[in-house]
Structure 1
Amino acid sequence: MRVYAKVAFFTLEIYMTRWLLILLTALSLTGCGYNDFQRLDEQTKSAWSEVLNQYQRRADLVPNIVATVKGEAAFEQETLTKVIEARAKATSIQVTPETLNNPEAFNKFQAAQGELGSALSRLMAVSEQYPSLKANQGFSDLRVQLEGTENRVTVARNRYIQAVQAYNVLVRSFPSNLTAMVFSYQPKPSFTVQNEAAITTPPVVDFNKK
């Protein structure tokens, strides 16, 4: 009986020690920001998904814009070609969840999207020189849709920038940086801008220029 009691006590001690370690580990992870990493990582992924949705929305507008502009016989072919090529390049880049952990792939994708945005802005600026195109109701509707989409892109990008900033601060700050090392949380890439105002100011596309 005495041996049995000792074995039972030893087993109970191991059991209690195990649960104590689990409890201490949980408290330690909470104190070192593990739950914050989970929350901010999900926020970043969600913000990135919205950016991708708006980029896709913009790309989907291009075929109809191009088809409408082609009806203007005298329209600058070079401008039209650049839009077509920029869309092809932007949509050919495969984006995966790992893109957020690969700065090189992220920057390559973003550069392609930047080229498409610039090409579309150029096309809209040139279209102002063609009265018949400006009077085309179908083209007018597409311009309004593009304007709304560009604004949505800007809003989505801003949210992503804010989410990544909060996440990266957690990755680099003590003591949460220790948790980042243990669980391999790495800083995520963000958008780069030449002008800080570009972060909060939507691109101007003037569709009412006379």
Structure 2
Amino acid sequence: LAPLLRRVADRTFNAISVDGDTSTNDTVLLLANGASGLDPFHDGALARAFEEAVLQVARTLALGIVEDGEGATKLVEIQVTGGATEGAAREVGRAIARSALVKTAVYGADPNWGRVLAAAGSAGVALSADKLTLSAQADGDDWVVLAQGGATAHPDEAKARAIFRQKRLRLRLDLGMGRAEAVVWTCDLSPEYVRINADYTS
């Protein structure tokens, strides 16, 4: 089960961020007692179905962590496409998810594309600004392009702000470097987060 759990965790629990910090208690376990008598790894189709089921459960639990984050009011899905590798795409997504400036912009319903691109640039991944395209979406509406080629795409500001006011929104950053992609989830950073973490001593 260990290799399966590592693959699943990389796409779920290791793809979320509330505040960028890691607790010494952060743990994920996958246990099997063999009571069913089945070994899914002896059947390719069954193994794939089993891993997909574990992935769905893990994703539900991981998103619950983000939505229940201290002071969180919004859930943000960050899709990074066009990466040279999946690992590179994931690192860019993580950098955006950890950015306090991005998270406060989301809280303030500010479609600040510059903060997102700046965060992406801090990921330690080779990027080319003129290949970047950043879009935003909420509630299944059409994607609104915020920036293209490293500069503003002159979006309709009212539409862009309306997206950022939603409780759930998506950002998509196309790196233009390849075909790999990754998804990372984060939340906004609100005054309530500061109050909660300033008012207690551990």
TM range (shorter): under 0.3
- TM-score between the two structures when normalised by the length of structure 2: 0.20
Of structures 1 and 2, the larger Rg is shown by: 1
Higher strand proportion: 2
Higher helix proportion: 1
